[in-house]
């Protein structure tokens, strides 16, 4: 029976162990978390004034790459397929406004906290300290940025995950006869899968990412590392626009959406073929 176990999670990351799930399905989840889960990002920028050293296009690109909170937007705005084609369709876009200027002799860095939501406070930069532009003396930039839902496969700015990796679940075995208890493996282990507690090695295979650092530093060759064929470790790191749990759940929803789309197309094609 399929089993899912959450082995670690925090506001930015989640790691789950998937058992008795086909590899293709586990990998589809990983890909969907990067490419299919919709998020909000700026897609059009209207400049009212720009006397800075940077061209409009450069500033627009920087603004588009600022992650925007999308948790509520996901249920509030129309899907990317509707908005992509139709320009300013109702229910697609929300706007943010930025205005900054400097006096004579003044130089400032304009950060993302100056990008203010106009209609929807739930679509805003995830943090206020992302630099956008440096304004020199007596410079000004005023713009309106329009955001909509999109998918990572269209542009990376819409991807909710910064990392999504899938590995086999590790099998780690320590030969206690060879081990000198030098502790080097636990010092090098980046995930805490091998730790030294009271002078003894403690192993947690569910935390292992199979990086092999422990094997490389173990001169007595006391560690043997392999992996299970029926269990996978899926790790997702969020960019901050959605919680990692939401990315995972929404990935399943997106796969189901694509399968339904496929089913409907297949039914249509078959009924057309039958009617001809």
DSSP state of 206: G
Of 35 and 205, the one with the shorter C-beta distance to ligand SF4 is 205
DSSP notation for 115-180: -EESS-TTSSBS-S--EEEEE-TT-EEEEEEEEEEE-TTT-GGG-SEEEEEEEEEEEEEE-TTT--
Minimum Å gap between C-beta 9 and ligand SF4 is: 18
Residues 195-224 that bind ligand SF4 (CB under 6 A): 201, 208-214, 217-218, 220, 222-223
Alpha-carbon gap, residue 29 to 25, rounded angstroms: 6
Nearer to ligand SF4, 17 or 193 (CB): 193
Instruction: Determine, following the binding rule CB under 6 A, whether residue 173 of this chain makes contact with ligand SF4.
Output: no
Contact 131, 59 (CB under 8 A): no
95: which strand partners?
146
Residue in 147, 185, 231, 241 binding ligand SF4, rule: CB under 6 A = 185
**CB of residue 230 to ligand SF4, shortest distance in Å:** 19
Confirm or reject binding of residue 226 to ligand SF4 (CB under 6 A).
Answer: no
- Does residue number 189 form part of the binding site for ligand SF4 (CB under 6 A)? yes
Rank residues 141 and 222 by Cβ distance to ligand SF4 and give the closer one.
Answer: 222
**Considering CB under 6 A, how many residues would be counted as binding ligand SF4?**
29
The binder of ligand SF4 chosen from 174, 195, 227, 252 (CB under 6 A): 174
Per CB under 6 A, contacts with ligand SF4 among 34-53 are none
DSSP β-bridge partners for residue 260: none
96 part of the interface to ligand SF4, by CB under 6 A: no
And the tokens for 250? 């929404």
């Amino acid at each position: 029976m399929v089993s899912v176990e959450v082995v670690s999670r925090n506001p930015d990351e989640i790691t789950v162990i998937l058992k008795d799930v086909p590899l293709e399905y586990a990998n589809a989840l990983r890909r969907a978390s990067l490419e299919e889960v919709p998020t909000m990002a700026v897609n059009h920028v209207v400049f009212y004034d720009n006397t800075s050293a940077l061209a409009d296009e450069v500033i627009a690109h920087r603004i588009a790459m600022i992650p925007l909170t999308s948790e509520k937007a996901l249920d509030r705005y129309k899907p990317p397929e509707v908005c992509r084609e139709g320009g300013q369709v109702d229910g697609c876009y929300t706007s943010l406004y930025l205005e900054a200027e400097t006096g004579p002799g003044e130089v400032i860095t304009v950060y993302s906290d100056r990008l203010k939501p106009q209609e929807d406070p739930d679509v805003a930069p995830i943090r206020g300290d992302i630099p956008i532009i440096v304004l020199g003396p007596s410079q000004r930039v005023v713009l309106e940025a329009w955001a909509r839902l999109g998918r990572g496969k269209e542009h990376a700015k819409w991807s909710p995950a910064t990392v999504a990796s899938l590995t086999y679940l590790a099998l780690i075995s320590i030969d206690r006869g060879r081990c000198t208890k030098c502790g080097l493996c636990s010092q090098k282990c980046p995930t805490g899968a091998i730790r030294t507690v009271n002078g003894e090695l403690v192993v947690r295979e569910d935390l292992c990412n199979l990086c092999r650092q422990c094997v490389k530093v173990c001169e007595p060759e006391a560690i043997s590392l392999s992996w299970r064929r029926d269990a996978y470790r899926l790790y997702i790191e969020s960019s901050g626009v959605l919680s990692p749990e939401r990315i995972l759940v929404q990935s399943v929803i997106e796969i189901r959406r694509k399968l339904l789309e496929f089913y409907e197309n297949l039914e249509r094609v078959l009924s057309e073929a039958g009617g001809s």
